[in-house]
Amino acid sequence: MPTTVPTAVATVLPSFAVAAVGVAAVLLAGGWAARHPEQVTALADRWRARLGATPVLRWTRARTAAHPRWHAVATAAALLAAGALVTVLVIWALGKLAMTGWVVGLDRPLYDFFVEHRADWATGPMIAFTAIGGFPQSIAVGAVVAVAVAVSVRHPLPLLLAAAVPAEIRLQQLLGGLVAAPRPPEETSIGPAGAFPSGGSARVLLAYGMAAYFLTRLLPAWRPAVAAWTVVALLALAEGYSRMYLGRHWMADVLGGWFFGIWLLALVILAAVVLAPLVATERQWQVPRPESENAPPASGTNSQA
């Protein structure tokens, strides 16, 4: 018995080391963003200006300014529909790329690495981690966030965003059938083997990313906003790592799932920005800014000679 415990721990150390590097990278990035708000907001402002200068959004802004209600709804619906079509095409192309020889040549040894470096004592926590990307959990998070935002802004519009996670599930199922990528072998998968892209990895980014986005705009403060997005990144990392540890997905599936989730989250945020003028309330959604920018101006000046 004295030798079995160290052996069991040593078996998973190489795999855990990969996870530790990922966690360290996320925490370092979050810490840097928390300490350098001006640089982050300047970069975000540049991208926002470039996005706002695109012909589509210039046209959208002109229409929503004249008729904010109907044009905002129609524009958001058109953006989501077009975005869903582009999503299917892009993820389908990435899925076919993931089946090419050079990707498979990198992917399969990585899969074997995770399978070889796991132990029974760690399986339970990994199953618990991977559950955060499950259907019921993700749908529940999306519904709770939508209801909380709707109650806070006193408008039913955010309830429409609760449909984002069910829509992701349907899209992921459609893409799995279109790509038809081979799944990991059942004999090495702890739990059901998944297809490309990893739906769990995508749902964590979409559901918890929606939560971070809306909550940080209802309570705009820089450091809490950075902390919220750091938590989302850590949850996505834990989800993707647990799927690979359990042998349920190839690495390419997880990377595809992360890209899929980020893409869908960007679409939801874009729709929320377009629909924001419809939320008639004194409590407007705000963008988190550095504390120095949020500070009120001085009430007076010192006139002493």
Q: What is the pLDDT of residue 261?
A: 93
Torsion of CA 138, 144, 146, 150, to 10 degrees: 180
Q: Which amino acid is at 204?
A: V
**Lowest-confidence region among 78-82, 129-133, 186-190:** 78-82
With a CB cutoff of 8 Å and minimum separation 6, the contacts of 154 are: 281, 283
- Distance, in Å, from the CA atom of 291 to the CA atom of 200, rounded to the nearest integer, reads 35
Q: Give exposure, 15-53, as e/b (b: 16+ Cβ within 10 Å).
A: bbebbeebbeebeeebeebbeebeebbeeeeeeeeeeee
DSSP per-residue letters across 120-176: HHHHHHHHHHHGGGSHHHHHHHHHHHHHHHHHHHT-SGGGGGGGHHHHHHHHHHHHH
Task: Residue 188: name the closest of 239, 246, 243 by CA.
Answer: 246
- Whether 47 has a pLDDT exceeding 80, the answer reads no
- Whether 201 has a pLDDT exceeding 60, the answer reads yes
Q: What percent of the chain has a predicted confidence (pLDDT) above 70?
A: 80
Sign of CA dihedral 66, 70, 73, 74: negative
Confidence category of residue 53, pLDDT binned at 50, 70, 90: low
Q: What is the pLDDT of residue 299?
A: 43
Position with higher pLDDT, 60 vs 130: 130
Q: What is the pLDDT of residue 24?
A: 95
Rounded to the nearest integer, the mean pLDDT of the chain is 81
Which range scores top for mean pLDDT: 12-26, 70-84, 148-162? 12-26
- Distance, in Å, from the CA atom of 50 to the CA atom of 257, rounded to the nearest integer, reads 27
| φ/ψ of residue 69, rounded to 5 | -80, -65
The structure's pTM equals 0.84
Going from the C-alpha of 231 to that of each of 21, 243, 263, the distances in angstroms are: 16, 18, 19
- Distance, in Å, from the CA atom of 11 to the CA atom of 61, rounded to the nearest integer, reads 57
Q: What is the pLDDT of residue 197?
A: 92
